[in-house]
Amino acid sequence: MATLLTTAERNAGLPGLGETGWAAVPDRDAIRKVWKFRNFSEAWGFMSRAALLAEKLNHHPEWRNVYNVVDVTLTTHDCHGLSDLDLKLAEAMDRFAGQAEVQRDHGQPVQSLCEARAAR
């Protein structure tokens, strides 16, 4: 069973993730990141790579996909908060995402390419 990150582990791991666009989720011990890929195929490829690692780690993200957008929240349900598994998965997802655009303002609505085209 996973254990919550210690203060030292949080101080070591979370600032670097914050620099890449991961942010705290209000009212939860969790982190969230939103990527915008060039198209659905790139988004799906990212999710496939992440899913294979998640299965290997037996640690599964909360995520949502709309066309080219992938919105991910990480937390460890076993220990009700952030664990080393979340840091490992977040770091790997950052590698898998390549040059995808990161939406850093999580207060703004996320709009996929389909929605943007329909609004024109």
The 10s digit of each residue's pLDDT in 50-88 is 999 999 999 999 999 999 999 999 999 999 999 999 999
For residue 49, count other CB atoms closer than 10 A to its CB. Answer: 15
Mean pLDDT of the chain: 91
Please check whether residue 70 is in contact with residue 34, taking contact to mean a CB–CB distance below 8 angstroms: yes
pLDDT level of residue 104 (50, 70, 90 thresholds): confident
For residue 100, count other CB atoms closer than 10 A to its CB. Answer: 19
Q: Cα separation of 22 and 25, whole Å? A: 9
At residue 23, the 3 state secondary structure works out as strand
Strands 23-24 and 31-36: antiparallel
Closest CA to 97 of 40, 31, 58, 49: 49
Mean pLDDT within 97-119: 73
Which residue type does 106 have?
H
| Phi–psi pair at 38, nearest 5 degrees | -70, -25
| DSSP per-residue string spanning 66-90 | ETTEEEEEE-BTTTTB-BHHHHHHH
Instruction: Give Cα separations from 14 to 4, 59, 82, 102, 119 (angstroms).
Output: 13, 18, 10, 17, 36
